[in-house]
Amino acid sequence: MELHEAIKKITPPDAEFEQKAARRLDEQARPDGSLGMLEDNARRLAGIAKTLDVHLAHKVIVTCAGDHGVVAEGVSLFPQEVTAQMVYSFVDGGASINVLARHAGAEVRAADLGVSHDFEKELQIFHKKIDKGTGNIRREPAMTRDQAVLAVEAGISMVEELAAGQRVDMLGTGDMGIGNTTPSAAMLAAFSGMDPSKLAGRGTGLDDAALVHKIRVIKDALALHQPDPNDPVDVLAKVGGFEIGGLAGLVIGASACGIPVVCDGLIATAGALIACELAPAAKSYLFTSHNSVEAGHRFMIDRLGIAPLLDLKLRLGEGTGAALAMEILDAATRVLAEIRTFEEVRIRNARQE
C-alpha cells in the first residue's frame, strides 16, 4: 500500500464504544478513577476494538534494523557489525526482546530495512532492505527522498503481510541499529527547534567528551542539511534512518488496519513521531510504552502527548519496553471486562449518596 493511500485509510476509533467503556469503568464497584491510566487505556482499546471485552491474544513485535553512516564519526562505542549480529540473535530467540516478548505472549519478527550485511534469503525476517546503511549525515543526507518514502512504505507493507497471514490484536515496534540515537536526536531537534545539547543522550554509554562530540555532529548535520520541520519526509531523508522510516510505516500501517500499536523507546518513538507528523489520525491508535533515560525521549513523548505506561530506567531498544507495556495493556482490558459494577454486585453506589 502506498503511503498516501494508507494515511487515507485511517479512521477514528469508535466513539460510542469509548463512551460505553467510560460509563462501565465509572460504574464499577471501586472508587472513581482509582485504577488511573489502566482506565484511560482500557477506554481507548475498547474504541479501537469496538467491544467492551477486548482480548490481546495475538501480539507481534517487529524489530526494525538498519545501519548508519554517522558511526564513522565516532558516535557509538559499538562497531556497526553488531547490528547484523543482533538480527541473528533475534531470529535465534536469545536476545532481550525475545525473553520479554515470550513473557508477554508476543511473537518477535525482525526486519532488515538497511543493515550493511547480506542476510540469507531463507532467514526468517522481513527482507525490506532499502540500502546498506544510510549516508553519514555529518557529510551527506541520510538518504534520498524516494528512499525515505520507500522505508515508510516498507513498514506499511509489513503490517499488511502480518495481517494477511494471521490475526494481530496488538503490534509492538522496536529497533536495532548501531548509532541510531544520533539521527533520532537530530530528527527531534529538526521538528522542535530545540538545542541538540538538550536532546542527545549517551546511547551505548558515551563519556562526557564523546557526548560533546556527538552533539557537535548533530549540530553540524542540521546546519548542513536544514531539514524542513513542516515536511516529515524531508526530515527523515536528511537526518533519519531506514529503520526509523520502517518504524513510522508500522504505526501508519497498523492504524490503517485498525490495530493498536505500542512503541518502544527513543528510536521507536522517533518513528512514531514521523508517523504522527505525516498522519495525525494515527495518534488515536498509538500507545507509548515507557520513559527512556535517553535525554530526548521525554520531549518526543511531550510532542506526541501520549503518556507512557512505565518508567523503569530502560534504554535498550529492541522493543523491550513495548513487550512490558503489552502486559499492562492486557491488564487494562481485563479491568474493563471483568471488574463488576455496583449493580452487578448489588452494592448501593456510595458515590450517589
Q: Are 130 and 243 in contact (CB under 8 A)?
A: no
DSSP letter assigned to residue 136 = -
Number of Cα atoms under 13 Å in the Cβ half of residue 35: 22
pLDDT at position 90: 98
- In 3D, which of 155, 91, 95, 102 has the Cα closest to residue 124? 91
CB atoms within 10 A of CB 224: 15
Q: Are 149 and 3 in contact (CB under 8 A)?
A: yes
Report how far apart, in Å, the C-alpha atoms of 328 and of each of 39, 76, 101, 239 are: 11, 32, 13, 34
DSSP helix/strand/coil, 14: coil
Distance of alpha carbon 290 from alpha carbon 182, whole angstroms: 20
Q: Are 250 and 159 in contact (CB under 8 A)?
A: yes
Distance of alpha carbon 138 from alpha carbon 68, whole angstroms: 11
Write down the domain spans for the chain. 3-53+336-352, 59-330
pLDDT at position 140: 98
pLDDT at position 205: 84
CB atoms within 10 A of CB 325: 25
Q: Pick out the chain residues at pLDDT < 50.
A: 353
pLDDT at position 353: 47
- In 3D, which of 180, 168, 179, 90 has the Cα closest to residue 126? 90
Q: Is 203 left (phi over 0), alpha (psi -120 to 50) or beta?
A: left
- In 3D, which of 302, 304, 322 has the Cα closest to residue 312? 322
Q: Which of 73, 243, 294, 318 is catalytic?
A: 318
DSSP helix/strand/coil, 94: coil
What the block records as the C-alpha cell of 120 is 540469507
What the block records as the C-alpha cell of 92 is 535465534
Q: Are 251 and 174 in contact (CB under 8 A)?
A: no
Burial of 198 (0-12, 13-18, 19+ CB in 10 A): middle
Distance of alpha carbon 70 from alpha carbon 75, whole angstroms: 7
Q: 16 catalytic, yes or no? A: no
Distance of alpha carbon 217 from its chain centroid, rounded? Answer: 25
CB atoms within 10 A of CB 302: 10
CATH of domain 3-53+336-352: 1.10.1610.10
Q: Where are the alpha helices (DSSP H) in the chain?
A: 3-9, 15-27, 36-49, 81-92, 96-104, 145-165, 181-192, 208-225, 232-239, 242-256, 266-278, 297-304, 320-338
User: Phi and psi (nearest 5°) for 147?
Assistant: -65, -35
Distance of alpha carbon 189 from alpha carbon 225, whole angstroms: 13
CATH of domain 59-330: 3.40.50.10210
Q: Are 264 and 317 in contact (CB under 8 A)?
A: yes
Q: What is the dihedral of CA 160, 164, 168, 169, to 10 degrees?
A: 90
